[in-house]
Amino acid sequence: MDESAIYKKQGMGNRLGFGQKAALVIVDFVNGFNDPEVFGGGNIPDAIAATKTLLDAARRNDVPVAFTRIIYQDDGSNAGVFVEKAPKLKTLTIDNPLSQVVPDLEPKEGEFIVDKTDASSFHGTGLNAWLTYHHIDTLIVTGATTSGCVRATVVDACAHNYRPIVPRDCVGDRAIGPHDASLFDMNQKYGDVIASNEVIAELERLNSKAS
């Protein structure tokens, strides 16, 4: 049975495409989510490797880049219901090495670091103001986990009227079932799920058009 048939019949799954200016947000690709003994597993290492290639292309084409991290106060005073589902998240404090962006994707000076306490990269952060300042209309979302913070960020990006683009090989999850289901769902309702080489080609096209 073709599960996409009902979506097509109801007019879903349309392609958004890129707008005039894109930014890249790398969601929670930190050491703790790259460690299967902590919060990682599944296809996350492969997604990090693919994101490195995309990040290099973004930098080469002058695309604004943001990184997100889950960060809680040492005393847990800013932790909410999210950590009641996953209490170990409270260990992700600013001084914990597990909270830091993985070395392969180390942020450069001038790139935006977003510290958050919930799944969405927009909730309670300065991400939307930063995107507005840079006149962004298209948000490329990579990171972990596909079914969690990536999906929440994509849904909120759509709600803020950005065009969400999800490079399917640049997002990862600790379990492949939720990963695949989330990619399908996002592609039908919230954004475009495409390969990273297609994203890179679009970034190069936009940069060439702007220069």
Q: What is the CATH number of the domain that holds 108?
A: 3.40.50.850
**Tens digit of pLDDT for each residue in 148-199?**
999 999 999 999 999 999 999 999 999 999 999 999 999 999 999 999 999 9
Residue type at 54 in one-letter notation? L
- In the numeric block, which tokens belong to residue 133? 């300042």
Chain CA centroid to CA 63, Å: 15
Q: Which of 65, 83, 149, 152 is catalytic?
A: 149
Query: d(Cα 69, Cα 207) in Å, to the nearest integer?
Result: 28
Is 3 among the domain residues? Answer: no
Is 149 a residue of the active site?
Answer: yes
Predicted TM-score of the model (pTM): 0.96
- φ/ψ of residue 112, rounded to 5: -85, 130
Is 193 among the domain residues? Answer: yes
Q: Quick check: helix, strand or coil at residue 92?
A: coil
Domain count, the chain: 1
Question: CB–CB of 114/66 below 8 Å?
Answer: yes
Is 201 among the domain residues? Answer: yes
Is 107 among the domain residues? Answer: yes
Query: What's the pLDDT at 1?
Result: 58
Q: What residue numbers bound the domain in which 178 lies?
A: 19-210
Query: d(Cα 106, Cα 85) in Å, to the nearest integer?
Result: 29
Query: What's the pLDDT at 117?
Result: 97
Query: What's the pLDDT at 4?
Result: 86
Asked whether the CA dihedral 142, 144, 149, 150 is positive or negative, the reply is: positive
Phi-psi label, residue 99: left if phi above 0, alpha if psi -120 to 50, beta otherwise: alpha
Query: What's the pLDDT at 141?
Result: 98
Is 12 among the domain residues? Answer: no
Is 9 among the domain residues? Answer: no
Average pLDDT over residues 118-130: 98
Is 24 among the domain residues? Answer: yes
Orientation of helix 176-189 relative to helix 151-159, angle to 10°:
10
**Tens digit of pLDDT for each residue in 82-115?**
999 999 999 999 999 999 999 999 999 999 999 9
**Tens digit of pLDDT for each residue in 31-53?**
999 999 999 999 999 999 999 99
Query: What's the pLDDT at 209?
Result: 83
Is 1 among the domain residues? Answer: no
